[in-house]
Structure 1
Amino acid sequence: MIICHCHAVNDRQIKEAIAHGIDSVRGLNRELNVGNTCGQCLPQVRRVLESTLMQIAEPSPKKVA
């Protein structure tokens, strides 16, 4: 899904950048240019960032042998 229409950045690109260590809107702004033009995407960028970081932080369930 396209998040930033001004720079054609989708949610996968944002998640990939987060997986490579970017952990802030400012970092995503520098890396992907999201929010640099009109700024309307920033609320959605924040949501994707926060939900992705939460998924990374959640421990995965351990399988019982």
Structure 2
Amino acid sequence: MIVCVCRRVSDREIARHARAGMSFDEIQFELGVATQCGNCETCARGIVEQCCSSHPVAALHSEAVVQVSPAIRDSRAWAPSPSSAA
């Protein structure tokens, strides 16, 4: 469904950007949604809010550690990078 008639932006486009972790302001800058007449802003914000609450983006922290199974780590197919060899 077209949400922003002025810029021809669909709900799917807005949702795709929101699921990628973009805020409404970022989506507005990227797609131009709600930058002309403004009639679509409420609907567009609702789509972003719905997508963000139903598909939260996982945050990576510097202390996060990925555990690799010994079976994978010890196989010949495993080729760790020089920085992960420590």
The residue aligned with 2:81 is: none
Q: Give the drift of 1:19.
A: 2.3
Matching residue's letter, 1:12: R
Q: Give the drift of 1:28.
A: 1.1
Q: Which has the larger radius of gyration?
A: 2
For 1:38-49, what aligned pairs fall within 5 Å after superposition? 38-49=37-48
Q: Give the drift of 1:26.
A: 1.0
Q: Secondary structure at 2:55's aligned position in 1?
A: helix
Matching residue's letter, 1:44: C
Matching residue's letter, 2:31: L
Select the structure with the greater relative contact order (CA < 8 A; seq sep ≥ 6): 1
TM-score (norm 1): 0.78
Q: How far apart are the structure 1 equivalents of 2:12 and 2:28?
A: 15
The residue aligned with 2:55 is: 56
TM-score (norm 2): 0.61
Q: How many residues align?
A: 56
Q: Give the drift of 1:30.
A: 0.6
The answer for unaligned runs of 5 or more in structure 1 is 58-65
Q: Which has the higher helix share?
A: 1
The answer for unaligned runs of 5 or more in structure 2 is 57-86
